Structure 1
């Protein structure tokens, strides 16, 4: 997915330079500077003064509009909603999920990237954490047609929950590459997508998935 991982959890949040006046130009310059500095030096070295210097604007301009580093990070994440990203349409649920996962994989595997730095920064700044949640909501909403089309084709039950499918497909990538920092496995995007598609077909990812039937072992334990 468009990360911060482009729906997938989204490819990198894109900073789009807008036309339409000085305020828009300044915002574009400042957010571009934030992204460049994050990739170059990470979050620890990001300061309002450094951003102002890189963007070529006065520090008071940055303080007045963004207040602090958290505000800058939040606006960079929010700017991703301005892009035109949309999910793939391959005609197959599994292949759509593979394509989404490949975007996430590419955004996470060759680190540090803007995506990985922004996710890490969200654990330190409340404004960035809230903005990252908005980013995921946006990407999941844009990616929902992948699942809705699959339901219409009869690949998954009518009650299939799009968000559950997307999270199931992409979570292994974030877990392996971002949390465990394991060596990138090119087969991971397809493996995770196949598992999510199989779970969706089996009805395990519906909005009200039924509880598993009790087994003999459960009965013995209760007795």
Structure 2
């Protein structure tokens, strides 16, 4: 856990391993969520819990530093998983409208259906290509350069992934019709993916926070590089 062991601000936070099961002063209860049910979201209440000093991770006051070290990897991992979910939803809808008939013809014969699939497909393929690019950049950059150059990009990609899976899942549910509204049968997979959309748009940094972070870092990098160019000798 990140706990405050010092004064205000980030430098007052440290990471501690806090025992939970059978620990005096700890009470827990399961929190029901609309999605992400396998994550075991739990409310934890701590009341005068004693933690051995040797349970400190790293150095005191470096908790926030260690937490932020993983931000890029966490957001990239979320974006990759979300992109895959979007592809599963859209491909399921694609297969369904090829076989589902209305008035003697497959749904795929309707221009409005093809248009909806094409719009979602364009968003999905753009996102997928961007994710591939970010994976390549992260694997080639040093940790220091990656934190500086890719933090905003990762935040933006994570936010965009949430938007794309929302659009693809909604498209799939609508094309499945009534089948996409039930938790069993042909549409149960797309119904589940659509229910999990908030779990893609909130954890790892909620969407609005990620969008703001991306622009703020872009401005910061732009100003720093513009200043550096001004100092170069001609």
Smaller-chain TM-score bracket: under 0.3
TM value normalised by structure 2: 0.23
TM value normalised by structure 1: 0.24
Larger strand fraction of residues: 2
Indicate the structure whose relative CO is greater, using CA pairs within 8 Å and at least 6 residues apart. Answer: 1
Report the structure number with the largest CA radius of gyration. Answer: 2
